[in-house]
Amino acid sequence: MKLLTILLASVALCAGSAIPLVPGDNSNYVEGVSRYIWMPDGEDVPHLVDLHAPVDEAQLLDARNGANNEYWLFTRQNPTSRQVLVNGNINSVRNSNYRANRPTKVIVHGWNNNGNTHMNPLITSAFLAVQDVNVIVLDWNRLANGLYTTAVQGVPDVGRHLGNFLIWLFNNAGGNWNQLHLVGFSLGAHVVGNAGRTIGGRAARITGLDPAGPQWGNNANALNRHSGIYVESIHTDGRALGIFDPISDADFYPNGGRNPQPGCLTPTCSHGRATELFASSIRFDHFIGRQCNNLNDAQLSSCNGGQLRMGNANLGKRGSGLFGLRTGSSWPF
């Protein structure tokens, strides 16, 4: 029996250390066991990530002192040309189109992305199409484009600096916590989780778009339901690039919440699909989730309980539980 136990442990260790050879194929990935995983960049090109890679301490310094963060403002007056807001520089705000009486939306990208990655203008334009709002895109590309393991360690500091920036902004230029909506994709979901807790959970709403899974299971720094007044997550690549377990007040599982999502032609496409579904929901508010009895029902999309709309821009949205739904395979899904 002892020999069998040792043999099984050796097999698991070898499987966990095996390098997946097909680019983008994470079908054999097991959270907490596998050492390697394919992760896409902003153009959906897969990159092989070593989850055991040593953290680059020098790179973390930028995250700790806030130098890694840039805050780009977009409004209906400048929908595509960013204005850079500088923490502590009130003139950068006074000389911008920021208006305290508008709702404020904050968008945060994930690993191997930047402020110009497709998801940012996609979601920004959707918000501006339906509401007169301040949209602030957090660009943290210097850390986000380093080693994944280093970026994971830097997420709490990036989030705390974002939270402190919002406190400074609202205290000095005006703003309303009840009109604040934080949106984060992948690692960015955990960034906004930390930002939300930094501001005392006062954000009216937080949306996590397929919150990153690798190295985030049972991680105290992950997005959770205490990060804001109402916290929701949209899961599209669970048990691979995204967390599958519920972590929010309301957790949505479109098409079962896992890879492959309808219409995805590459294995890593499902992770980014959450950003597209969210942008579409802002413009059309057409996704209606049905409450599930348990996680298994959510994965099977066999849910027929009460209704709650997935996504949208409604700051007063409230709800709790697990929700399943089906979507189409192409825009607007």
The single residue of 271, 280, 281, 297 carrying the catalytic annotation is 271
The single residue of 34, 96, 186, 280 carrying the catalytic annotation is 186
DSSP state, residue 268? T
Does the active-site annotation cover 237?
no
Q: Tens digit of pLDDT for each residue in 249-260?
A: 999 999 999 999
**What mean pLDDT comes out for the span 215-244?**
97
Q: Tens digit of pLDDT for each residue in 169-212?
A: 999 999 999 999 999 999 999 999 999 999 999 999 999 999 99
Residues 271, 193, 221, 65, Cα dihedral to 10°: 110
> Which among 151, 153, 127, 129 has a CA at the least distance from the CA of 140?
151
> Which among 41, 19, 136, 127 has a CA at the least distance from the CA of 86?
136
Position 326, amino acid: R
DSSP state, residue 301? T
Topology adopted by domain 56-325? Rossmann fold (3.40.50)
Query: The pTM is what?
Result: 0.94
Does the active-site annotation cover 271?
yes
278: pLDDT strictly greater than 90: yes
The residue extents of the domains of the chain are 56-325
Please, are residues 75 and 105 in contact by the beta-carbon 8 Å criterion? no
> Which among 210, 195, 218 has a CA at the least distance from the CA of 251?
210
Place of tokens 């804001």: 228
Place of tokens 């778009």: 209
pLDDT at 13: 42
d(CA 243, CA 195): 19
Does the active-site annotation cover 41?
no
Phi, psi of 236, rounded to the nearest 5 degrees: -130, -10
Angle at 293 between CA 290 and CA 296, to 5 degrees: 100
Please, are residues 56 and 35 in contact by the beta-carbon 8 Å criterion? no
In the structure, what pLDDT confidence band is assigned to residue 63 with cuts at 50, 70 and 90? confident
> Which among 271, 274, 219 has a CA at the least distance from the CA of 247?
219
Per-residue tokens: 45:
């090109």
> Which among 59, 1, 8, 51 has a CA at the least distance from the CA of 26?
51
d(CA 14, CA 10): 6
The single residue of 210, 237, 249, 297 carrying the catalytic annotation is 210
